A and B are shown apart, each in its own frame.
Chain A
Amino acid sequence: MLSLCLEIKNVEKSFFSGSFRKKKRTVFSDISFGVKKGETVGITGKSGSGKTTLGKIAAGLISPDTGMVLYKGADIHIMKKEIRRQYRTRVQMLFQDPEGALNPMKTIRRQFEEVYKLAGIEGNQSVLKSVGLSEEILSRYPHELSGGQNQRIALAKILLLEPEVIILDEPTSALDISVQAQILHLLRKLQEERTLCYIFISHDPATIQFMCDYEIRLE
């Protein structure tokens, strides 16, 4: 179905631990869902239920044990190089700890410059405006900025790649209440402007209700 930006099919993941890796813990099995343009799917569950793992599988950071992740109908783990590169650009992930997602030793300006180079575009700082940041943050380091600002920076970097799908792993859980509200509104605005698909991971029912069209609950 080509109207689906990203599709997860019958995905299962287990972790092995203990000596000789004998203990097997199945985090989830037979999960299937898809996201359409402009839609938000929520993934909820208690901590440890595998939400982040599922998110990382959708982002291509982890391979599932069985099942497939389909981008434009093709399995991301066996697709051809050009499509794989497309997948890498168009499917992005925003992480929970905003400061942790940025290299602490590089200035914000340098981090943006790297992304400009990667995306092959001219560096104009207009993306900053679309996330509500001023140019004065460019000369700073991540640890000098607040959680809200760092999360906006991470978001801006992602937007430069013109994504179709953004997987958001508890993007506001580490932020203060008033900042949470700001970021959630920003996310909604961007989704409307750019018809983005969101896969939104959160353990907070109120946030899920506010952001998502439908939800998947992991036990």
Chain B
Amino acid sequence: MRPIALKRISKPGLIIFTGFILVAVFSGLLSPYDPDARYEPYESPSEKHFLGTNDIGNDIFSELLHSSRVSLTVGLLTALIASGIGLFIGLVSGYFRGAIDEILMTVTDVVLMIPRIPLVIILAVFLRPSYWIIIIVLSLVWWTTTARVVRAKTLQIREMGFIDSAVTMGFSHRHIIFTDILPNVIFVLIPKFMLTVASAMISEASLSFLGLGDPTKKSWGMMIRYAFERGGFIQDMWWWYMAPGAAITLCVVSIVLIGFSLENTEPRISAFSAGRYE
């Protein structure tokens, strides 16, 4: 990554987010207990169980750490697929313009009109609730903003003189897109990617809360759902639902911090900084 980007990246965001990634990867080592092991249910936080236990006696803290894997995976996969689709469509649309552009943009507009959350709900009703539905549906519907942003940037670069130059020299379209346009587009893609991860995690949490996630592999959203369903709310066991809630919030905030901090990091070229008189 360019040095400028590295300097501007939000340090708090990066530290916290890296922390979450590490937790997700090493959740096995970090958890005091096996999240499926059962102990005395409905226990309040104590020395033995840092965040108490849930309705079937699992240690909540261990559950929390393990759920990070699910939540983060869903968020990242969704963003990856959505960004991949958006990147492709944006590049093709912006580079070839004309009829292809009009068709693709019409498709984009149509997809934008689809109500996402209701769609996921309906699908989940007919199919078995699982995270894959969430990932696939969300990504199939979310590539649109990425496509728009990539297309705008592609159009802008395409107007620059060196593209004309490459065309007259006979470079293939593929070459021009990959070596001339793509490197510049990456700068707008990465912030968008981070923000998509954040949105995906929140959406997943909401959908899991509504019961559409897989109950055998709990995400943070699922944890909150169970907390509400199995009496955690009524019995004022705030540690049960606040912990995953705080985890989601903190993780999303860290991602958003990184995303915003990277937004305008395109390299700016100034004649004063090169060994020239001006």
Direct contact of A and B (CB under 8 A): yes
Q: Interface residue tally of chain A, by bracket?
A: 20 to 34
CB pair B169 A105 closer than 8 Å: no
Contact count A vs B, C-beta below 8 Å: 59
Q: Which B residues are closer than 8 A to A by beta carbons?
A: 160-162, 164-171, 175, 179-180, 183-184, 267, 269, 271, 274-276
Query: Which one, A88, A91, A102, A141, contacts B162 given CB within 8 A?
Result: A102
The residues of A that contact B275 with a CB separation of less than 8 Å are 144
Main secondary structure of the interface of B (DSSP, over half): helix
Q: Is the CB of B161 within 8 A of A143?
A: no
Q: List 11 A-B contacts (CB under 8 A).
A: A88-B168, A88-B169, A88-B170, A89-B170, A100-B162, A101-B161, A101-B164, A115-B169, A154-B165, A161-B169, A161-B170
A202 to B78 CA separation, bound complex (whole angstroms): 54
Query: Which residues of A are at the interface with B, using a C-beta cutoff of 8 A?
Result: 56, 59-61, 85, 88-89, 91-93, 95, 97, 100-106, 114-115, 118, 141, 143-144, 146, 154, 157-158, 161
The residue on A at minimum CB distance from B184 is A105
Residues of B within 8 Å of A56, CB to CB, are 164
Contact of B267 with A105 in the complex, beta carbons under 8 Å: yes
> Smallest CB–CB gap between B2 and chain A, Å?
9
Compute how far the CA of A59 lies from the CA of B179 in the bound complex, rounded to whole angstroms.
22
CB-defined contacts of A92 to chain B, threshold 8 Å: 168-169
List chain B residues, Cβ under 8 A from A89: 170
Contact check: which of B165, B170, B180, B269 meets A143 at CB < 8 Å?
B269
CA distance A91 to B168 in the complex (A): 8
Closest Cβ of chain A to B215, distance in Å, is: 49
B171 CB contacts on chain A under 8 angstroms: 114, 118
